[in-house]
Every structure is written in structure tokens, then in C-alpha cells.
A and B are shown apart, each in its own frame.
Chain A
Amino acid sequence: AQSVAQPEDQVNVAEGNPLTVKCTYSVSGNPYLFWYVQYPNRGLQFLLKYITGDNLVKGSYGFEAEFNKSQTSFHLKKPSALVSDSALYFCAVRARNSNSGYALNFGKGTSLLVTP
């Protein structure tokens, strides 16, 4: 079985400060890991992914994430938050040997609020 945990329902950050949105995963074997963002009343947009290689992955809008195999984590980070980053963020995982097609297991989501 594969699963993702996002331990924080909400993260509050002041504009200009660094932000971190946490994600831990559980899979058998090596994972594919993803971050998606959802703005109000919109679908999910892909931010970044870890497939293999460098543990630090850079994605859209200045976001990055670090894959940590020993801690089974894939935290999303940004050095300087913008008010426009306020949205719902989802971490997702897929096991390399998954037998459910290419479906992803999503976390419950973390609401990010960046205040001016």
C-alpha cells in the first residue's frame, strides 16, 4: 500500500518569509513523488516531481522540494513567500511497482495562507 501524510491542515506565513509545507510518504520500494497546487474553484496544477536523481527538485513559481529517503519526506519549500502563493497544496505518491495504472495517492492537502 502507498500513502501520503500532510501533518498540517494550515500553514501561515508572512510575505517575504520562507515557507515549508510538510509531506511524508509510505510506499513499498522507491517512490515517484509530486506536489500539486489548487487555487480556489480550480483544478489541480502540477508544481514539481521527484522521479530519480538529485534529491533537490526545482519546480514552477520558485518552489522546490527535497527528497529525503531516510526520513521518507518530500517537503515543499520556497525561500520567499508571496501573497499569491496562498492556495491548497497536495503531496502525492506513486509506487514504482504500482498495479493501479498511473494513479496517485494524494495527501489531505495543506492550506497555505501568506499574509501581507
Chain B
Amino acid sequence: NAGVTQTPKFQVLKTGQSMTLQCAQDMNHEYMSWYRQDPGMGLRLIHYSVGAGITDQGEVPNGYNVSRSTTEDFPLRLLSAAPSQTSVYFCASTKPQGASYEQYFGPGTRLTVT
């Protein structure tokens, strides 16, 4: 299994541009989520999905959209990039089973908005 994969690894955008961060997992996990990591702030939840066709907002959803058309993929869209969205973005997945719940993280996408 490749686990959780994210593309691209690095991206530079100009203010106002849009882009999609890709996330895929091959572990048949129902639950997927997007976090952003900023220095001194830990990881903050942007959006999550409990299964195909179901998404919901996390702690910091503004400026981001998600969709979940398949179990495997959970793309994150930046509609109009702003410098405040400069961050490292992590996708994670888990298969709630028994008392498991640990999340598996992708390698991250480092985004800079100028």
C-alpha cells in the first residue's frame, strides 16, 4: 500500500489564484481530513469527510472547498489564494474500527502565497 499520498509537494501561488491540492489513500479508509500546520499553532482541521459524498467543516474552513466523490480521493480547493493561506497542508485518513482511530498522514504540501 502507498498509504496516503499528496501532490504537489511544493507550490507557489500568487494572490487570487486558485488551485487544488490532491490527496489519495489506498487503504479503503472511510474517514479523511485536511489539516493546516502553522508554526506555534499545531495542526488545525480545515474540512473532513466521513465517507464518499459527505463532507463537513472543521475549525478553519474559510477559503477552502472540498468534495468526496470516491472513497480514495479527497481534494482540497483554494478558491482565491491569500497570503494567510501560506502553510503546510496535511491530508489524513483513518478506518474507524474497534478502538483504533489513529490517523495516517500524508507527507504534506508546502504552499506559499505571494
Contact = CB atoms under 8 A, between A and B. Distances in A.
A25 interface: no
Contacts of B4: 43
A107 B108 contact: no
Main SS of chain B's interface residues?
Answer: strand
A38 B48 CA distance: 21
Q: How large is the interface on B (under 10, 10 to 19, 20 to 34, 35 or more residues)?
A: 20 to 34
A32 B101 contact: yes
Given A42-B107, A51-B101, A52-B99, A101 B42 contact: no
Interface SS of chain A: loop
Interface residues of A, number: 25
Contacts of A100: 45, 48, 56, 58
A102 B105 CA distance: 14
B50 A101 contact: yes
Contacts of A67: none
Contacts of A52: 99
